[in-house]
């Protein structure tokens, strides 16, 4: 029989595993800003224990402009799923022709039991509307649909990650594939476009979209929660995500709980939506201390 949930049980729908090399960002000296990055599964589990996080989706860390580094963490993330039922994994993939062979190798892992998602980010090159990326995108979304995987897509203002660009993926693939719009547009313009109408238009049209509010500007979580209440749709599409080590777990947790706390959205965003998206393995076990 399943144990009862703890009162503070949390699911984290987006955090990273792997330590990046120092890099001279923006012309400065080599630095390692992701100070909370974890190199091992044991370290990750201890963090989850300390936080009270029951389950998490773990994504290869990325950020330095070398896709080989991100691809190199795919097997570590898959290993994490074999070490604990509390962890599900996303695989780093790319639609770029230069990454085609590495993506083919990554997609071979798509049938591993703990793999629940594929991760796309145009921060390392390409753009959704580039014809040179279309074949790669078609293959990534085909595999996602065939294996019922979620496609995580980074969003941030401007350039290739802007919601106006990422919207192409929703229009082309969102009827069949589940798409997680990371960071809810990633900034002021994206938040206003999504909460103002686009997120709800997509939900109403049957698009299989989800989102999290990591990195969200202060007004956005409150506004989104208010619009969900007013419109009566979308509550089943929002998840808590820490984005560790690029986000701050406690800060992200407090921000979202302040917006949804005490109501039905709290259970949905912190618990139930994750379970619906990634299955019920590990639910109810509670945080466990890691040796």
Flag whether 288 is in a domain: no
| Mean of pLDDT values over 195-213 | 98
pTM here?
Answer: 0.93
Instruction: Please report which helix (H) or strand (E) contains residue 157, including its range.
Output: none
Question: Would you state the pLDDT for residue 289?
Answer: 34
Q: Is residue 115 part of a domain?
A: yes
pLDDT confidence bin for 9, thresholds 50/70/90: confident
272 is a domain residue: yes
CATH number of the domain within which 255 lies: 3.20.20.140
Does residue 284 lie within any of the structural domains? no
Write out the residue range of the structural domain in which residue 129 sits: 10-15+36-278
Q: Give the tens place of pLDDT for each residue, 66-105.
A: 999 999 999 999 999 999 999 999 999 999 999 999 999 9
CA distance 272 to 266: 9
Into how many domains does the chain fold? Answer: 1
Q: What is the pLDDT of residues 230-285, one digit of tens each?
A: 999 999 999 999 999 999 999 999 999 999 988 899 999 999 999 999 876 433 33
Residue 79 lies in a domain: yes
In a domain, 237, yes or no: yes
41 part of a folded domain: yes
Residue 1 falls inside a structural domain: no
Phi/psi of residue 94, each to 5°?
Answer: -145, 140
């Amino acid at each position: 029989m399943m144990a009862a949930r703890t009162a503070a049980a949390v699911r984290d729908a987006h955090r990273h595993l792997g330590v990046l090399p120092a890099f001279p960002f923006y012309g400065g000296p080599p630095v390692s800003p992701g100070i909370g990055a974890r190199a091992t599964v044991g370290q990750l589990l201890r963090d989850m224990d300390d936080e009270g996080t029951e389950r998490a989706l773990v994504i290869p860390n990325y950020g330095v402009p070398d896709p080989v580094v991100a691809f190199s963490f795919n097997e570590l993330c898959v290993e994490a799923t074999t070490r604990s039922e509390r962890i599900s994994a996303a695989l780093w993939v790319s639609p770029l022709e230069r990454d085609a062979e590495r993506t083919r190798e990554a997609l071979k892992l798509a049938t591993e039991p703990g793999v629940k998602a594929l991760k796309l980010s145009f921060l390392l090159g390409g753009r959704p509307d580039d014809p040179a990326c279309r074949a790669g995108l078609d293959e990534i979304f085909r595999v996602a649909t065939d294996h019922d995987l979620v496609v995580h897509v980074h969003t941030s203002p401007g350039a290739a990650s802007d919601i106006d660009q990422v919207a192409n993926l929703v229009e082309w693939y969102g009827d069949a594939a589940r798409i997680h719009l990371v960071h809810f547009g990633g900034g002021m313009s994206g938040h206003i476009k999504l909460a103002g109408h686009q997120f709800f238009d997509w939900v109403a049209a049957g698009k299989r979209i989800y989102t999290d509010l990591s990195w969200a500007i202060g007004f956005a979580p409150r506004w989104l929660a208010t619009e969900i209440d007013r419109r009566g749709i979308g509550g089943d599409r929002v998840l808590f995500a820490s984005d560790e080590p690029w986000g701050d777990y406690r800060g992200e947790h407090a921000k979202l709980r302040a917006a949804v706390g005490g109501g039905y959205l709290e259970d949905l965003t912190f618990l139930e939506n994750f379970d619906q998206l990634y299955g019920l393995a590990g639910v109810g076990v509670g945080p466990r201390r890691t040796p």
